[in-house]
Structure 1
């Protein structure tokens, strides 16, 4: 007799702004009206770059999971391609929450958001704007653009200026964007050029993916000024920060400073790099901790007032 699958996966296309986002909805088998966690990825990444692995584990634990790809990337809509707009990506999060709330078969009153890397920064911003949510998870989150730019180095930042200028001119002319690599080798022109950046991206790109290692350069000024960590203090419900002790992209010291301002924040640190979080033992540690956290929040009654901050925990 065939073993029943622990979950089913459904292809979804939901409207956002002037286009649409492609997503997967994972529904746990045999669970009536399960809670749901919405997953968004990092800088230029698509949902098939290991968001499915996290979503599968959540579904096996009885939590529905909704993993989506931002507009302008992968198999989602939006023109021009490879355009990273913080405003549009945050609107995609809002649209995903709206879709989940009205979808039958899941509990629209028990929703959490989960973001990794740049998506982790978005998760902080989104959580601060949606008090009706039950919980949030920010994994190796991008919390401060200036801190990340300083980690990249002033020389690398100066190298990007001519490409930014060309792309802004292309925007005015209505021509194809001027691109900059998302990840590159040390010393190369890229948004991330730490030693582990390019191999880290390559390790999570599946065969036949729609992922492109480039983005329209016009995003750089907005990246430097985006500081989602500042919104942590506005989040009244529980949020889990999963922080890499050796993060080369999102400096951990700054992330921890912001995380400690969250009224009901929980912090877990890991001796694994920014790009190690998606595979192997670090992935197992993270997903186990996240399932425990989400299950605890979904099973508890919503708080009417925010108690004191939970002490940080160290792994």
Structure 2
């Protein structure tokens, strides 16, 4: 297995990632992206290496404004930009001589699990989609939080937009916090679950421009579900504290070729231990069936 640093342009900004190559010629390839506020090194190399060990090349990248990718302000969360980055990553990967770009799958988790549904609907180059604990509907997710939380989010978001219009530094909110503190994620398992993913020594800051609070309700990957032609594996967490799992099930039923697995776990559990082994085993089998 080789790990090769690569970079590509997305709307004029350099995005960086790692290409994992197995010891075979022209392998099928999987493009991977992370969830909300996360960098690619937050546990995802473990997935990439497992895929690579079974004969798949993997391109794991950071969205603009995150990790090793360029762009300001840092940690700018914008799902529409993330989707564009995914599409540009696919375009880039298809140009690489080392892989078989005609056998291309995509993989996303959490917020990224929603992105891959949108990308799968938009790109005919995608031949298989794995969507792990996906964010599927901004409306249902927003409505699962108290009205007081929604009002605070609106106020934070407006403050950030006003500051950006005045060319001032962003008004930020925590990406993750304990219950009782406003953050993009503040459920009982959020702080421990999320921070457990962070690579030791990572130069990651727990804040993001608050304008994402205004965008979240508008982002609805479920609206693209019927347009996805590629086969999809959707792994849903029945104990998800952040994403209403019923909305994910409803979305899976709109997809023409969808294998849906409902797992007895929380949102942050598939990255570790037996649940990691269980979920990735199913993902590998799915990619073998659809890409090889």
Structures share a fold, TM > 0.5?
yes
Q: Is 1:42 equivalent to 2:35 in the alignment? A: yes
What is the 5 A alignment of 1:160-309? 160-299=153-292
**Which of the pair has more CA radius of gyration?**
1
Contact kept in structure 2, 1:247 and 1:273, CA below 8 Å: yes
- TM-superposed CA distance for 1:160, in Å, is 2.2
- TM-superposed CA distance for 1:131, in Å, is 2.0
1:105 pairs with one of 98, 104, 109: 98
Paired with 2:79 and 2:66, the residues of 1 have a C-alpha distance of 13
Contact kept in structure 1, 2:154 and 2:214, CA below 8 Å: no
Paired with 1:154 and 1:23, the residues of 2 have a C-alpha distance of 39
TM-score, normalised to structure 2's length? 0.98
TM-score, normalised to structure 1's length? 0.91
2:6 pairs with one of 12, 18, 22: 12
Unpaired stretches in structure 1, ≥5 consecutive residues = 1-6, 300-315
Paired with 1:192 and 1:285, the residues of 2 have a C-alpha distance of 26
RMSD of aligned residue pairs (Cα, Å): 1.0
- TM-superposed CA distance for 1:216, in Å, is 0.6
Q: Deviations over 1:48-88 (max 9, x none)?
A: 00110100000001011110110011111011112112222
- Other structure's SS at 2:291 match: helix
- TM-superposed CA distance for 1:249, in Å, is 1.0
**Segments of 4+ in structure 1 off by > 3 A?**
none
Contact kept in structure 2, 1:232 and 1:258, CA below 8 Å: yes
Paired with 1:212 and 1:113, the residues of 2 have a C-alpha distance of 27
- Other structure's SS at 1:84 match: coil
- TM-superposed CA distance for 1:162, in Å, is 2.5
Q: Deviations over 1:282-306 (max 9, x none)?
A: 111111000000011012xxxxxxx
Unpaired stretches in structure 2, ≥5 consecutive residues = none
- Other structure's SS at 1:267 match: strand
Q: Is 1:66 equivalent to 2:56 in the alignment? A: no
- TM-superposed CA distance for 1:8, in Å, is 1.0
Contact kept in structure 2, 1:72 and 1:78, CA below 8 Å: yes
Q: Deviations over 1:238-275 (max 9, x none)?
A: 01001001111111101000101100011011111101
Paired with 1:151 and 1:200, the residues of 2 have a C-alpha distance of 19
Aligned partner of 1:96 in structure 2 is 89
Paired with 1:166 and 1:232, the residues of 2 have a C-alpha distance of 33
- Other structure's SS at 1:243 match: strand
- Other structure's SS at 1:260 match: helix
- TM-superposed CA distance for 1:161, in Å, is 2.6
Paired with 2:91 and 2:2, the residues of 1 have a C-alpha distance of 21
Aligned partner of 1:302 in structure 2 is none
- TM-superposed CA distance for 1:221, in Å, is 1.5
- TM-superposed CA distance for 1:95, in Å, is 0.9
